[in-house]
Structure 1
Amino acid sequence: METIQNESIFVVDDDQGILDSFDAMLGDDYPLHMVNNGVDALEYLDRHQPCLMFLDLKMPRMNGLELLKTLAARKLSTVIVVVTALPQEQYQELAYEYGVYKYLQKPLDVDEVEDIAAVVLH
């Protein structure tokens, strides 16, 4: 199956409030696709290659670290930003080992998220 390349943002988070926040922060300026677990994320990534992905670590079905491990083996060109409420020191090093671009703590800083999107997509 051929991968569809696009200039979009992909958000993977099980918290609907966070998904709504991303829509409010970026939805007017960029195409967004959002899912609430790692299994659905893998299915989406089988067909699409977004430029930027914001990824939560703590999710049902497949957590963010499991997804990162799988994606690292695929060598995607997608820029991945972790967004999590989990303690930074516990997971940050591992996330960077899997090729993460940035590691952001929740609650998210709107300006920081917008700046990342602007840098990666322009």
Structure 2
Amino acid sequence: MTKLSSLLAALALAGCYSLAPAQVSTQDGVLVGPNGMTLYTFDKDVAGDGQSACNGACATNWPPLTATSAPAGEGYSLIQRADGSKQVAYKGKPLYYWIKDGKPGDKTGDGVNNLWRAAKP
């Protein structure tokens, strides 16, 4: 039962996490989310069109950085995803995490399928 309680608490925290304003910073020349993990852009997203081209299975592998309000600073905005959630964008490009990055500082998603780029300020 303790494992179940821990799992439920973790899921609850994960859900609350996306309800807060996003805090994006720069580390080693790339944008990182509040958890210190590298953020990425997707070449199929069109800057400024207010949409994400990464949904469904794509978003499972490339989770969007979601928030209720855009981070402070020039160039940040929010787009509305197909599921109704709000995703942080930088210079009009939605921001994503890569599920295979295991720890802060990893940039293993940079260049995947020649479509994904580590987001740079």
Name the TM-score class by shorter chain. under 0.3
Structure showing greater radius of gyration is 2
TM-score normalized by the length of structure 1: 0.26
Between Structure 1 and Structure 2, the one with more helix by share is 1
